[in-house]
Chains A and B, each alone.
Chain A
C-alpha cells in the first residue's frame, strides 16, 4: 500500500545533475529520440502553417484588392519602390498592382507617392477577361457602366463588386473560388500531415519512455539483487518496490509528458512569435510586450500551485494513513471507546484536507481564466493596433486574422505550465530516489583468488568465528567446530542463540568479522560466490514459493530434466501430493503457494533443493507450530532430503536430529555442549532441558 503513504514530497525543483543523468538513459535509443524529434518538428511546423494558409486564402483569394498608378510615373524614382513590371495588368494609362505591394512601403514612400498625384488609393478589383465564360460575358454586357475594360483585363470598384448579386459576383470571381479550393486542399494535406506526425511523435516518445523505463528497471532490479543482506535488511520491501515501479514511472512521464511537451510548447511559442514577426513587426511587438506580464503571472501561479499542491499531498497522505491506521487498529479504538474522539479527530484532518483541496482549486480557478483573459486582452490590443495600421494601409486583413489565431496559439501552452512543472518536479524527486538507491554500494565482495573445485567433499570448518549483524553486538563469539564429509551436524539452542545465523555464514549471505570458515580446507572468502552457492544449499526456515507452476518452482529456470525433477520430488515424498493434483507438475501456484498446504509447501522446497543437486545442505528447520499430520509429513520429507548427504541441520524439533553425528548446543553465541543425542541427554544439561521444554508445546 506504499502508494497511500508515499510521503516523500515533490519539493524537488529542477536539478541539472539529475536531469542530465536521466537524459543519459536516452543514449542507447538515439534513433527513436531523433524520430520523435523529427515528427515533432513536422507537426509543429504544420500547426504553425495552418493559420498562415488561412491568411493567404483570405488575402489572395477573398479580399483581393488593387490600386492603380499612372503610366506617366512608371520610371520615376517615387514609383521605383513599387517594383512595377511588364506583367502587371495595364488598362489605358493605368498600371494596376495588388494593394499589399503598397502596404509594404514605408510611410515616407507612401507620402511621396501620394503627393505625386499619379497614385489612386481607391480599391478596385481586377480580373482577366475571358469571353468564353458565359457568366462573365453576360455580366459585362448587362452592366457595362460598372466596368472599365482593357484588352486583357477588366476593372470594377470594390464597392460595386460587393454590391453585385451572388450569382454574378461568383461568375466574376471564378478564379478566386478555384484558389480557395486549392488552399483548402493544401490545408487538408497539412492537417493530415499533422495527424500523421503527431501520431508518430506520440508513438516514439512513448516508446522512448518505455525503453528507458525498462533499462532503469532492469538496472535497479539487478542492482538490488546484487546487494548484500546487510543492505537489504535495512530496506523495507515496499520501498524497494516503489523505487522500481512508481518512481520509474515518474521518469517515463518526464519523457512522454514533460520533455516532448516542453519542446513542443517552446517551439510553438517561438514559432508563433517568429511568424508574428514575419507578418508584421509592429503587431508582434505588441504581443511580445504582453509576454513579461504573462510570464510573471505564470511564475506566481506556479509557486502558488506548488504550495497548494504540496499542501494537498501532505493532507491527503495524512488522511489516508489515518484511515488505514484506524482500520488496522480498529479493535484498539473500540476497546478504548475512542470511536467518537477518532471521528472528531478524523473530521479535523478531513477538514484540513478539504481546505487544502479548495486551496488548490482556488489557484487553478484563478489562473486559467487569468491566462485566457491575457490572451483576449492581447487580441483586443492587437486588433486595435491592427485596425490603426490597416487604416494607414499598412497591413492586410488576412494578416490581422492570422494574428488572432497565432495569439491564441501562443498562449495555449502557458495554461498548463504549472501542471507540467509539477510533473517535472516529481520526475526530479523520483530520479533522485532512484539514483540514491543505485549509488548505494553494499555488496559481498566477490574477488576469488581460488577456483571452485569441481567436487566438494564436504569438510566444513568454523575457525574462531566472530560475527555481529550490528557493530559489536556479537551474535557468534569465537565459534569453532568441524564436520567431516558425509556427516550430519545439528545445531540447537534457545531462540536468539545464533543458530540461524550459522546458516547465513557458510554461503556468505553475511561476511564474518573475525576468524575463518573453510570448505575442504579452502577459505570461503577466496572462492567464487556463484560456485560456492551452487555447491552448498541453504534451506531457509521460511518456504518461499514464487507465482508460477510447481515445475517452475522446482527448476527455478535451471535445466532440470523431468526425470530428475520427479526423482527429487519422490525422494522427499512430494510426488505423492503433486501426482494427486489435476495438473500435476504444471499446477499453478497462487501467491505464496496458498493453494497447497503448509506441509506441502515445505516438501516442495525440499524437492527444489534436491533437484539442484548440492554437495552440502544447510537446513534451517521451520519454527512455526504445525499439527501432528503436517509434522509427520515434514519429518518424512526431511529424512528424504538429508539421506546420504553432508548436512548441517539447525534444529528446532529435536526429534529430527536424534541420529545426528554431532549435536552442537549453542547458548549466547558460544558452544555450550557438544555430542551425540544420548550423551547429551545423559548429561542432564542444557540439551536435556531444551528437549523437555520443546515437548511441552509452549515454544
Chain B
C-alpha cells in the first residue's frame, strides 16, 4: 500500500523541516491543551473547599488565559507548517504532472480522455493533499492526544476514568464501519446523480427529437423517475449520516453520564474532588476528536493511496516518441523526402497510408488533395514526428528524421492545423504563441498577410481581446486566420497548412494566398486543401486516395490528364464559383461566405 507513496517521498523529505516543526507545535499544543482542565480543576477545587482569597482563583485563571493564547498561536503554526507543506507539495506535484503531460505523445491522449486526466489533476490531487495534510495531522494528533488525556484521566482516578472512556473506542469502530457504508452509499448517490445529469444532457441534446415527436411528457416522466431514485439513494445515505453523527454525540454524552454516576459516587465517597469531575468532563470533550480522528485517518489515507495510484499511472507512462541518444541539436535543412512511407495507428490496424514517396526541395511548394479520410492529416503529422513514421521513412537533407532532437526537428516547421485550436489568451498572445519577441512592424505585417487587420476593429479590446473558452467567440474563419498568423510568426523553413482556409470565403482566401506566397518566396510550403484554387499555386501536387498516391505532378501536368481526378475537380469547382458569384444578391462577404461556410 505504501509503495505508491514513493512518488511523494522526495517532497516529504524536502519539507521535513516543515513536518518536523509542525509535529513539534502539534505536540506542544496537545500538551498545553491537556493542561487546561487541570487548571480548571484547581480553580474549582479551591472554590469548592472554601476559605480562599481571590488571588487563588485569579492565578489559575490568568495562567489559563496565557496558556490558551499560547495554544492559539501553536495551532496557527502547526497548520502553517503541516497544512502549508501539504499545499506546497500539492503544487509541486501538480507541476510535475502537468510537465509530464506536456511530454506525452499523441497515443497517450488517445488512450486517456481529457475528462479522466482532469479528474486525476483535480480530485485525486485533492485526496493526496488531504492524506499528507489533515490525514497526517489526525494521525499524530490522535495518537499523542489520546494517550496524554488517558494518562491524565487515569492519574486522577483510574477506575472512574476507565469506566468513563469505555464507550469511546466505539466511536472509532463506528467511523470505520460507517465510513465504509457511507463510501458505498455515496458512490451509489454519485452514480444516480451522474445518471440524472446524463438524462438532462441527453434530453437537451436530443431536443429536436423530443419536440419533433411531441414527447415532452415522456421525457419529463423519465427525468422525474430518476429524480425519485436520486431521492431514495440519497435518503439511504441521509439515514446513515443522520444516525452517525448523533450516535457519536450520544456516545460522548453517555461517557459524561457514566462520569457523573461513577465520579459522583467517588465524590460522595470522598475519593474525588468536584474539580476532578469538571476536569474529566473537559477531557472527555477533548477525547472525542482523536477518537473520530482515528477513523478519519484510516479513510483519508485509504483514499489518498488510491488517488496517488491513479496519479502514478500517468507519471509512470513513457512517451511513445523517443529521441535517439546521439540525436543532433542542429535543425535540419535541405530537401524533405518521404520514402516508401506507410502507417497504421495500431499494431494490427489497417494501413492509413501506403507506399508514399515524394520529395520537396528547398523553396518548393507541395500541394496535397484528397477525399475526407484519405490520410492527408496523418501524413503531415508524421513529418514533425507528432506521430512516429519509423526509421528510414522521412528524411531531411538526406538524414533520417529520428536523428534530430525533437525540438530541433520541429523548429523548422510552422503548422496550421486543421482544427485551429486557440488558447484562452489575447489575440496577440495567440499569434505570438511560438516566438519570444516580435517587433511591431513584423506583427503588423503578419496581421496583414493573414487578413486580420480588418477584423481588429471588431474586437472589443483590439489585439488584447481574450479569445477562447471564456473570451470572445470567434468565427471559424477568424480562428483559422489567427492560426495562420501564429504559424507565420515563426518564419518557419517549412510551412504546413492543413486545410487551413476551409472556413474563409473565396475572396479572402485568394487575398491571403497572394500575400502569403509572396511572403514565403524561396521557402518550403506544404498546402493541404480540397480547393484547386489553392493547390494551383503549388509546384507539385499529390493526390491521395485511401492512403495511396493517386496522382502526383504539377498543376499543369495534372490538368492535362483530362480524365484524372484532379482535372475533374478543377472543372467542377470552377462552375461552383461562377454560380456563387452569379447569384442575384449582392456579392458581399457574408453572401459568398455562405457558399463556403457550414450551414445550420
Contact B122 A320, beta carbon cutoff 8 Å: yes
**B71-79, B291-299, B394-402: which one contacts chain A?**
B71-79
**B335-343, B510-518, B534-542, B576-584: which one contacts chain A?**
B576-584
Within 139-190 of B, Cβ neighbours of A (below 8 Å) are at none
Contact of B118 among A320, A346, A361 (CB under 8 A): A320
Contact A557 B71, beta carbon cutoff 8 Å: no
* B202 within 8 A of partner (CB): yes
| A23 to B98 CA separation, bound complex (whole angstroms) | 44
| A181 to B270 CA separation, bound complex (whole angstroms) | 17
Question: A534-B214, A668-B594 known; 5 other A-B pairs, CB under 8 Å?
Answer: A54-B256, A245-B200, A350-B95, A350-B98, A397-B274
Contact A337 B591, beta carbon cutoff 8 Å: no
Q: Which residue of B lies closest to A320 (CB)?
A: B122
* A14 within 8 A of partner (CB): no
* B17 within 8 A of partner (CB): no
* A162 within 8 A of partner (CB): yes
| A503 to B172 CA separation, bound complex (whole angstroms) | 65
Contact A240 B200, beta carbon cutoff 8 Å: yes
* A456 within 8 A of partner (CB): no
Q: Which residue of B lies closest to A246 (CB)?
A: B197
* A404 within 8 A of partner (CB): yes
Contact of B212 among A201, A336, A537 (CB under 8 A): A537
| A498 to B79 CA separation, bound complex (whole angstroms) | 64
Residue of B104, B202, B205, B264 with most chain A CB atoms under a 10 A cut-off: B264
**B43-51, B450-458, B551-559: which one contacts chain A?**
B43-51
* A400 within 8 A of partner (CB): yes
Contact B415 A335, beta carbon cutoff 8 Å: yes
**Chain A positions within 8 Å of B594 at CB level:** 496-497, 668
**Chain A positions within 8 Å of B231 at CB level:** 207, 210-211, 214
**Chain B positions within 8 Å of A270 at CB level:** none
Q: Which residue of B lies closest to A203 (CB)?
A: B242
CB distance from B123 to the nearest CB of A (A): 10
* A421 within 8 A of partner (CB): no
Within 283-310 of B, Cβ neighbours of A (below 8 Å) are at 285
* A5 within 8 A of partner (CB): yes
Contact B118 A365, beta carbon cutoff 8 Å: no
| A375 to B599 CA separation, bound complex (whole angstroms) | 68
Show 28 residue pairs from A and B whose CB-CB distance is below 8 angstroms, ordered by the A residue.
Answer: A4-B122, A54-B260, A164-B270, A184-B261, A192-B250, A195-B246, A195-B247, A202-B245, A210-B231, A241-B201, A245-B196, A321-B470, A323-B98, A327-B109, A332-B421, A337-B410, A343-B98, A343-B99, A350-B95, A358-B84, A376-B64, A387-B43, A387-B52, A401-B274, A404-B40, A469-B600, A495-B595, A547-B202
* A79 within 8 A of partner (CB): no
Within 223-253 of A, Cβ neighbours of B (below 8 Å) are at 224-226, 229, 232, 237-238, 240-241, 244-245
**Chain B positions within 8 Å of A501 at CB level:** 599-600
Contact A667 B101, beta carbon cutoff 8 Å: no
Contact A369 B75, beta carbon cutoff 8 Å: yes
For A521-534 the 0/1 string (1 means CB < 8 A from B) is 00000000110011
Contact of B269 among A169, A241, A544 (CB under 8 A): A169
Within 142-173 of A, Cβ neighbours of B (below 8 Å) are at 161-167, 169-170, 173
Contact B261 A668, beta carbon cutoff 8 Å: no
Contact B36 A376, beta carbon cutoff 8 Å: yes
Contact of A500 among B410, B411, B599 (CB under 8 A): B599
Within 60-97 of A, Cβ neighbours of B (below 8 Å) are at 61-63
CB distance from A221 to the nearest CB of B (A): 5
* A333 within 8 A of partner (CB): yes
Contact B212 A533, beta carbon cutoff 8 Å: yes
Contact of A544 among B102, B206, B281 (CB under 8 A): B206
Contact B373 A625, beta carbon cutoff 8 Å: yes
Q: Which residue of A lies closest to B571 (CB)?
A: A692
Contact A198 B246, beta carbon cutoff 8 Å: yes
| A276 to B173 CA separation, bound complex (whole angstroms) | 36
| A390 to B53 CA separation, bound complex (whole angstroms) | 11
CB distance from B594 to the nearest CB of A (A): 4
**A130-138, A377-385, A429-437, A655-663: which one contacts chain B?**
A377-385
Contact A177 B265, beta carbon cutoff 8 Å: yes
For A611-636 the 0/1 string (1 means CB < 8 A from B) is 01000000000000100000000000
For A289-333 the 0/1 string (1 means CB < 8 A from B) is 000000000000000000000000000000111011111111111
CB distance from A266 to the nearest CB of B (A): 19
| A376 to B600 CA separation, bound complex (whole angstroms) | 69
| A670 to B595 CA separation, bound complex (whole angstroms) | 14
Q: Which residue of A lies closest to B407 (CB)?
A: A337
Contact A57 B68, beta carbon cutoff 8 Å: no
Q: Which residue of B lies closest to A176 (CB)?
A: B268
**Chain A positions within 8 Å of B595 at CB level:** 494-496
Tell me if B's interface is mostly helix, strand, loop or mixed.
Answer: helix
The interface on chain A, measured as residues whose beta carbon lies within 8 A of the other chain's beta carbons, has a size of 158
**B3-11, B218-226, B353-361: which one contacts chain A?**
B218-226
* B271 within 8 A of partner (CB): yes
CB distance from B187 to the nearest CB of A (A): 17
Residue of B91, B117, B584 with most chain A CB atoms under a 10 A cut-off: B91
Contact of A225 among B220, B242, B407 (CB under 8 A): B220
Contact A62 B267, beta carbon cutoff 8 Å: yes
Contact of A540 among B201, B212, B257, B270 (CB under 8 A): B212
Contact of A326 among B101, B213, B434 (CB under 8 A): B101
* A586 within 8 A of partner (CB): no
* B464 within 8 A of partner (CB): no
Q: Report the tally of A-B residue pairs with Cβ distances under 8 A.
A: 428
* B445 within 8 A of partner (CB): no
CB distance from B582 to the nearest CB of A (A): 9
**Chain A positions within 8 Å of B264 at CB level:** 57, 61-62, 177, 180, 184
Contact of A327 among B90, B117, B243, B596 (CB under 8 A): B117
Contact A210 B234, beta carbon cutoff 8 Å: yes
* B88 within 8 A of partner (CB): yes
Q: Which residue of A lies closest to B265 (CB)?
A: A177
* A362 within 8 A of partner (CB): yes
**Chain B positions within 8 Å of A509 at CB level:** 208, 211-212
Contact of A332 among B36, B115, B224, B417 (CB under 8 A): B417
CB distance from A408 to the nearest CB of B (A): 7
Q: Which residue of B lies closest to A509 (CB)?
A: B211
* A453 within 8 A of partner (CB): no
* CB-based closest 8 A-B pairs: A557-B218, A202-B242, A336-B434, A365-B79, A369-B72, A387-B57, A198-B246, A354-B91
- Given A225-B216, A331-B386; A198-B242 close (CB under 8 Å): yes
**Chain B positions within 8 Å of A50 at CB level:** 253, 256
Contact B213 A537, beta carbon cutoff 8 Å: yes
* A222 within 8 A of partner (CB): yes
**Chain B positions within 8 Å of A12 at CB level:** none
CB distance from B542 to the nearest CB of A (A): 15
Contact B208 A540, beta carbon cutoff 8 Å: yes
* A347 within 8 A of partner (CB): yes
* B423 within 8 A of partner (CB): yes
* B372 within 8 A of partner (CB): yes
Within 527-584 of B, Cβ neighbours of A (below 8 Å) are at 530, 565, 568-569, 572-573, 575-576, 579-580, 583-584
**Chain A positions within 8 Å of B270 at CB level:** 161-166, 169
| A192 to B219 CA separation, bound complex (whole angstroms) | 46
* B459 within 8 A of partner (CB): no
CB distance from A507 to the nearest CB of B (A): 7
Contact of B469 among A5, A201, A331 (CB under 8 A): A5
- Given A354-B88, A498-B599; A540-B209 close (CB under 8 Å): yes
Within 379-417 of A, Cβ neighbours of B (below 8 Å) are at 379-381, 383-384, 386-388, 390-391, 397, 400-401, 404-405, 408
- Given A177-B265, A194-B249, A376-B64; A187-B211 close (CB under 8 Å): no
* B590 within 8 A of partner (CB): yes
Contact B572 A689, beta carbon cutoff 8 Å: yes
**Chain B positions within 8 Å of A188 at CB level:** 254, 257
Contact B591 A668, beta carbon cutoff 8 Å: yes
| A225 to B224 CA separation, bound complex (whole angstroms) | 14
